[in-house]
Amino acid sequence: MGYLRQKSILLAATVAFVAVMAGCGGGNAGNGSELKGQQEQSSGSVAPAKESVTITMEVGQALKEVAPHAFSQANIDEFEKQTNVKVKVIIDPDNQVKNVLQTKLSTSETPDIVVFNKVSGENELNTANYMLDLSGEPWVRRLTNPDALKAPDGNIYGFVMQSPLDAQAIVYNKAIFQELGLSVPTSYDEFLAVCEKIKQAGIAPIFAPFKDRWTFQIWTAGPFGYVATKEKPSLWADINAGTTKFSEVPEFEEILTKGLQLVERGYISPSALSDDYNMAPDAFMKKKAAMMIMGDWFVSDMKVKDPSIELGLFPVPAFNGKDLMISQSQITGMLHIPKAAKYPEEAKMFLDFLSQKEQMDRAQSDQPFMPSVNDASAPSLTPLQQEIYDTYIKTNKAVVEMNAFMKVDLTELWKYYQDMIAGGKTPKQVLEAWDEKFAELMSAANQPGF
């Protein structure tokens, strides 16, 4: 990391220069743009400043535990050693962190780095307005999946050390597929053909634990995410602003209709609304069912219950002629730099430092994770995790689930899905009912536009 030492020497010297200028009447000794200009003119031959700079990094207690990589004490110690820039971590109570950060951002009394979940930050902290656009930073070119870090406006407002490895998709029994000569479907029509062949073999094509209210929405997660990510990039923002309704998105109705067709054709059992998640292991161990609309966690659960079962997964095939993508939960622990940060250049230095292979590898010694950059060492993954990473994350075939973008609870929508499966609502009526309930919830939450 010789380049970092040189950069820190230049930076420290500039801090000293600016401090002197401040003593002569300058009022912005810590101004990032001034610092950057001075840094670019420095010859690199000056000594570090006698007094170090301290940058602050603020986070909620739970998020620090969930995404500990950015807080590796060994990395912080090494950064301070190399740069003469100190790092102070501020931890807020979970029930206060959002309000605390919102107040600090609105009053420009901000920390130098804000650690917050990506989509939650876009919705609750207005990152596009309050945070620096980091799209031009050097680490961006080394990201494995840069699209995953982009905000709805296409800019990147933060850095994250880890790539998510979860997947919501169709889980399937590989042995059944092999016995029946089936290939993984890549379209809705192929999926129907696979379901029909499994049904003819006397096996339930899809085990559906729809008694658990949250389960059917996994059918919508990837396809809805595809529409919002690849076809209508402003969709979630428009819905949250009240300028677009769910029922005005024809693709949503199409996706729900195709999910309902699985019930109508007998590919999902009529007992689906009585079946729950806890019944799924028995269905798979006894080969009563070949597939389930679920997530990677079920595969992990089954490995414990019956290691002999080989399960795989593939994206929800709700389209014909379009790319199929898994859905994932939102990116956690994103490091943002507020526009009002006192030391933005030092904060950028810290992010660049964390992005390097040495720091990625060092943080993994505390807790393994999949690095977000392509030149860091990968941890030892399970076969399923490796499949998810190689097939979907590295190839940019993963989207963030709708839930992450919503500002209100979705339980009522999930109830409407159950009504649809029971025959009480059409897909169109589900979306219209949710539009009405969504507006009511958004109004109660004092969201603009409602």
Give 198-257 pLDDT, tens digit per residue: 999 999 999 999 999 999 999 999 999 999 989 998 999 899 999 999 999 999 999 999
Q: Residue 17 pLDDT > 50, yes or no? A: no
Give which of 215, 208, 205, 177 is closest to 280, Cα–Cα.
208
Tokens 């230049």 label which residue? 10
Distance CA 206, CA 318 (A): 15
**168-173 vs 289-295, strand pairing mode:** antiparallel
Name the burial class of residue 155, with classes exposed (0-12), middle (13-18) and buried (19+) by CB atoms within 10 angstroms of its CB: middle
Residue 49 has pLDDT above 70, yes or no: no
Q: What is the pLDDT of residues 329-373, one digit of tens each?
A: 888 899 999 999 999 999 999 999 999 999 999 998 877 888 999
Tokens 């998709």 correspond to 169
At 95, is the pLDDT very low, low, confident or very high (cuts 50, 70, 90)? confident
Considering only residues 247 and 145, tell me which one the structure prediction assigns the higher pLDDT.
247
Mean pLDDT of the chain: 87
Residue of 39 and 299 predicted with greater confidence: 299
The model's pLDDT over 119-132, given as tens digits with 9 standing for 90+, comes to 889 888 999 999 99
Q: Cα–Cα distances in Å, from 399 out to 29, 44, 217, 230, 349?
A: 42, 44, 15, 9, 29
* Token pair 């850095």 in the structure block, residue: 159
Q: Which residue ranges make up each domain of the chain?
A: 1-51, 57-164+331-375, 168-328+400-444
Residue 155 has pLDDT above 70, yes or no: yes
CA–CA distance, 387 with 88 (Å, rounded to integer): 38
43 band by pLDDT with thresholds 50, 70 and 90: very low
Would you say residue 19 has pLDDT above 70?
A: no
Would 57-164+331-375 and 168-328+400-444 be classified into the same CATH topology? yes
Per-residue model confidence (pLDDT) at position 27: 37
What is the average per-residue pLDDT within 8-28? Answer: 39
Token pair listed for 248: 């005005």
Looking at residue 51, its pLDDT comes to 65
pLDDT at residue 180, as a whole number:
98
Characterize the bridge pairing of strands 326-328 and 53-60: unpaired
CA–CA distances in Å: residue 204 to residues 143, 169, 186, 290, 440: 41, 18, 20, 6, 39
**Whole-angstrom Cα distance, residue 376 to residue 360?**
6
Gap between the Cα atoms of 258 and 264, Å rounded: 10
Give the whole-angstrom CA distance, residue 170 versus residue 312. 8
pLDDT of the residue at 176 = 98
Candidates 3.30.565.10, 3.90.850.10, 3.50.50.60, 3.40.190.10; CATH matching 168-328+400-444: 3.40.190.10
Which CATH code, of 3.30.70.580, 3.40.190.10, 1.10.260.40, 3.40.50.2000, is assigned to 57-164+331-375?
A: 3.40.190.10
Of 179, 229, 230, 183, nearest to 202 (Cα)? 179
- Number of continuous H segments (helices) and E segments (strands) in the chain: 19, 10
Higher per-residue confidence, 67 vs 238: 238
Mean pLDDT of 374-397: 87
Helix (H, G, I), strand (E, B) or coil at 30: coil
- Residue 291: C-alpha distances to residues 35, 244, 334, 357, 390 (Å): 58, 34, 34, 39, 22
Tell me the percentage of the chain whose pLDDT exceeds 90. Answer: 67
Which residues does 243 contact at the CB level (< 8 Å), separation at least 6?
449
